[in-house]
Structure formats: structure tokens, C-alpha cells
Amino acid sequence: MDSVNRIINFVFPPLALYGLFVFYPIYQRLKSAVSIWRNVLSENVAGKVVLITGAASGIGEALAYEYGKKGAYLALVDIRDEPLFHVAALAELYGSPEVIPMVADVSKLHDCKRFIQATVLHFGRLDHLVTNAGVAPLYLFEDIDDLSKAMPAMDINFWGSVYCTFFASSYLKKSRGKIVVIASGCGYIASPRLSFYCASKAAVIAFYETLRSEFGSKVGVTIVAPGVVDSEMTQGKFMTKNGQFIVDKELRDQVQISLLPVESAERCAKAILRSVCRGDRYLLEPAWISCVILWKVFCSEVTDSLGRWLVMG
């Protein structure tokens, strides 16, 4: 088998490169044609049932308003009750026929089962699942005293999405619905002090890419990788090494968030909804994030060194 691998190592790279150069222009033309067709046949979400986690602020809140303006029925989930009820009331004012807010913790399996079933019991169906709830731990790995305090990053960011998807998948298959995965550009690009956040978002991306292959055409999956979007995180809200949530703008500036262009949550939500209705597989928002990922793929030493210089000094 070693000799076979040696032969493949010698033959396959030039063939793959040649095939890419030949196929890629054709692929791009076909992709452009399909994109135009998808724009023409963009999904109308009026009357559809949409469940959004992490709906009390940031991208989740903005998506609730955008779906509401389009006439979708909404089930909004967050762990914080007061801001959630405020968002629900505004979403109805923006045009949603009916909104049900549900206070729950996505890191708990039974909570996810409860609000998925409550949504279907109330509305009779589920068309879009938006997995948006997340936290951002911010500290150096070497500064951790108790590793168990880092667990919420995976429990909320990764398992919180998986739990919802597990209980919602059968209903989404019936409606030939969609899963909207709010990942992060950090899932592709390493950022010092955000090791657990980057790892959780990378896991989310890998999981839903695999799930897309398993579901095929039964359920659409749109993976969204936002850059720096106006949210509680850009305002300095992070989870410390002790597992506590604090708002600290000086801590925020340690990861250079204040130096990057911040996109409004409203603009990001509009782009996400357009992409989802077109049936896109991926969305990088804003689009310049794709250039950074390209550098990461082909010049990883440069992006790693730049990230360390910016954050670690």
C-alpha cells in the first residue's frame, strides 16, 4: 500500500491541478447561471414557520425582524426573558403574523426538545431552523485554571446547534425546510485568545457540511460565516476563564475588534435572508472575509504571524 500511495502522490497532484484549471471556468459559469435561476425562484417565507435561537440580541434579533417583515411565523428562543419578549413584540409590529417567545438554554438537551416540540405543536410545522445562540470565551489557553469552565463554549456553540437539529430534522424533512447555521469567520481563521470559540465554530462548520451530504436534497443547509458584526461581542461582552460573563471594552480591544470595520446586524441579517431564500450553501458576510480565508489557505504562515502580532503584540 505504501508503494501505491507513493505513485498516487506523484501522479495525482499534477492531474488534480490540471483538472482544476480546465474545470473551474466551466464550473463558475454553471454556478453563475444557477445563481441567477435561484434569484428568480427565491423562496417566499411569508407564512413559513421559523425558529431562531439566540434571538434576544445581535444577528438573531435582526433576523427575527427581517423574517417578521417578510410575514413569517416566528418561534424565538433565548436564555434571557426580558429582552426576548421585547424582540418578540417588535417582530410582530414589523409584520410577523404571530410570534411565540420561549425562554430556554440550548446547552440543555431537554430544553431543545421542549421548544422544538412546542413550536410544531403550536404552528403545526417547522420550515426554517436558525441556530444562532453562542458565547465567546476570551482568554489565553495558558491562563486557564479550571478547564471545565471552558465547556460552555462547546455546550452552547456546538451542542446547542446539534441538539436543536436532532429534534427538528424530522419536521424539516417533512416541509423540505432549511437549516441556517450561524457559524463565524473564526471557524476558518484562527484568532489568539479565542481558541475555544474558534474551535467550536470550526466544529459547527464541519458538522453541518457533513450533515448536508447526509440530508441531500431533503433539507437545505446554509452555513453563514460572519465577520465582525454589531453585537454584544463587539460591544465587549465575553466569557472569562472563570465562566463568568462580563462587559469589558478594554478586553475587547485586546483582540483588535475595535480596529476592524463593524457591519450592522441589520445589514448582515438582510444578506443572510437573501442567501437562505436563494438556497445558497455558504455565505461569507461581509464578502471580504473570503479574501482572508484565501490567504489562510495559501499563506497560512503570514496570517498566523499577523494574527499573533495584532493580538499578542
DSSP sequence for 257-313: GGGSPPBPHHHHHHHHHHHHHHT-SEEEESTTHHHHHHHHHH-HHHHHHHHHHHHH-
Q: What is the mean pLDDT of the chain?
A: 86
* Of 73, 188, 197, 208, catalytic: 197
Domain ranges of the chain: 47-231+261-312
Cell numbers given for 273: 435572508
pLDDT at 247: 66
pLDDT at 307: 66
- CB-side neighbour CA atoms (13 Å) of 90: 15
Residue with the larger pLDDT of the pair 156 and 7? 156
Per-residue pLDDT for 255 more than 90?
A: no
- Helix (H) or strand (E) holding 73, with range, is strand 73-78
Per-residue pLDDT for 234 more than 70?
A: no
The predicted-structure confidence for 164-179, as pLDDT tens digits, reads as follows 999 999 999 999 999 9
pLDDT at 258: 53
Residue with the larger pLDDT of the pair 84 and 195? 84
CB atoms within 10 A of CB 189: 22
The predicted-structure confidence for 258-281, as pLDDT tens digits, reads as follows 556 778 889 999 999 999 999 999
pLDDT at 47: 94
Percentage of the chain exceeding pLDDT 70? 89
Ranges 10-24, 89-103, 128-142, 236-250: which has the least confidence: 236-250
Q: Which CATH class is domain 47-231+261-312?
A: alpha beta
Ranges 36-50, 74-88, 249-263, 277-291: which has the least confidence: 249-263
The predicted-structure confidence for 107-156, as pLDDT tens digits, reads as follows 999 999 999 999 999 999 999 999 999 888 887 888 888 888 888 889 99
197 as an active site residue: the answer is yes
